């Protein structure tokens, strides 16, 4: 059951946050773009599961299409719909893993790698899922969490490189995850100190208090999310290969 869920969950994360580009997100109301996204999720699920279980693939395709269509056409692009959308998808995957617990037993991964080595495949999937959840998915979540605060700041107060803040967030969460996975969590302190020094010029002016608080909130959310996901990923990997 856990192997089935891991494969489907990793495929979902890859489909939603890696294979779905910003161009696709902006044009998701078009039927062709929506179909392309659903096809990517379904195909990735088939590949990572390693077995053509048509019932699972049909349910994934139909439910993903329905949930995303409701979100795109009926809901706003804000925090609550985003979280609700992801929770519904995950709940469906849990249900599939419960009702089809042996779907991965006859997969080509088991056949080609063998029962002993397939645990390393599960460990790799855990690492991939953790990385996607930590970096791009975390960026989307944090962006929606701090969106109300960004509305309080004038555009000219937070101007910088185009998508510079996004790339900084990706880099810092990637480093935090790497430090935890290699059992060097104390290095996170040096990362926080380095970012504080580099950001000092932006937040030292008392007239820019809103910007300072905005940066601090975003930083704490980013580091907190990265630590949480990294710890869960580390434990999941150890579960498979210990």
Domain boundaries, the chain: 2-112, 142-238
pLDDT band at 60 (very low <50, low <70, confident <90, very high): very high
Locate tokens 């809901």: which residue? 75
Query: Which residues have C-beta within 8 Å of that of residue 206, sequence separation ≥ 6?
Result: none
Locate tokens 């063998």: which residue? 114
Lowest mean pLDDT among 3-12, 26-35, 111-120, 225-234: 111-120
Distance from C-alpha of 192 to C-alpha of 135, rounded to nearest angstrom: 17
Distance from C-alpha of 166 to C-alpha of 139, rounded to nearest angstrom: 7
Taking residues 207-232, what's their average pLDDT? Answer: 85
- Does position 207 have pLDDT exceeding 80, yes or no? no
- Does position 157 have pLDDT exceeding 60, yes or no? no
- Does position 156 have pLDDT exceeding 60, yes or no? no
DSSP per-residue codes, 57-90: HHHHHHHHHHHHHHHHHHS-SSHHHHHHHHHHHH
Distance from C-alpha of 189 to C-alpha of 178, rounded to nearest angstrom: 14
pLDDT band at 150 (very low <50, low <70, confident <90, very high): confident
- Does position 136 have pLDDT exceeding 60, yes or no? yes
- Does position 55 have pLDDT exceeding 80, yes or no? yes
Q: Per mean pLDDT, which of 91-105, 141-155, 198-212 is the most reliable?
A: 91-105
Contact between 49 and 7 under an 8 Å Cβ cutoff? The reply is yes
pTM of the prediction?
0.89
Contact between 144 and 71 under an 8 Å Cβ cutoff? The reply is no
Taking only the tens place, the pLDDT of each residue in 173-202 is 999 999 999 998 888 887 877 776 665 555
Query: Which residues have C-beta within 8 Å of that of residue 166, sequence separation ≥ 6?
Result: 139, 143
3-state secondary structure of 204: coil
Q: H or E stretch including 42?
A: helix 31-49
> How many C-alpha atoms does 56 have within 13 Å on its Cβ side?
31
Model pLDDT, residue 107: 84
In this structure, what DSSP letter does residue 162 have?
A: T
């Amino acid at each position: 059951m856990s192997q089935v869920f891991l494969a489907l969950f990793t495929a979902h994360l890859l489909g939603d946050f890696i294979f779905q580009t910003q161009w696709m997100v902006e044009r998701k109301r078009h039927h062709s773009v929506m179909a392309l996204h659903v096809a990517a999720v379904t195909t990735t699920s088939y590949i990572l599961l390693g077995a053509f279980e048509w019932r699972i693939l049909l349910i994934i395709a139909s439910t993903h299409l329905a949930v995303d269509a409701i979100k795109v056409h009926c809901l706003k692009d804000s925090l609550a719909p985003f979280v609700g959308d992801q929770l519904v998808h995950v709940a469906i995957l849990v249900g599939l893993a419960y009702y089809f617990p042996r779907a991965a037993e006859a997969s080509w991964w088991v056949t080609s790698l063998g029962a002993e080595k397939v645990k390393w495949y599960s460990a790799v999937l855990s690492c991939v899922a953790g990385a996607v959840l930590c970096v791009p998915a975390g960026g989307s979540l944090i962006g929606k969490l701090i969106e109300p605060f960004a509305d309080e700041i004038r555009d000219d107060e937070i101007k910088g490189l185009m998508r510079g803040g996004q790339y900084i967030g990706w880099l810092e969460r990637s480093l935090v995850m790497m430090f935890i996975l290699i059992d060097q969590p104390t290095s996170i302190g040096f990362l926080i100190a380095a970012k504080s020094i580099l950001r000092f010029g932006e937040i030292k002016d008392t007239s820019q208090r809103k910007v300072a608080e905005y940066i601090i909130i975003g930083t704490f959310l980013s580091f907190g999310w990265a630590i949480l996901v990294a710890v869960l990923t580390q434990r999941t990997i150890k579960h498979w290969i210990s």
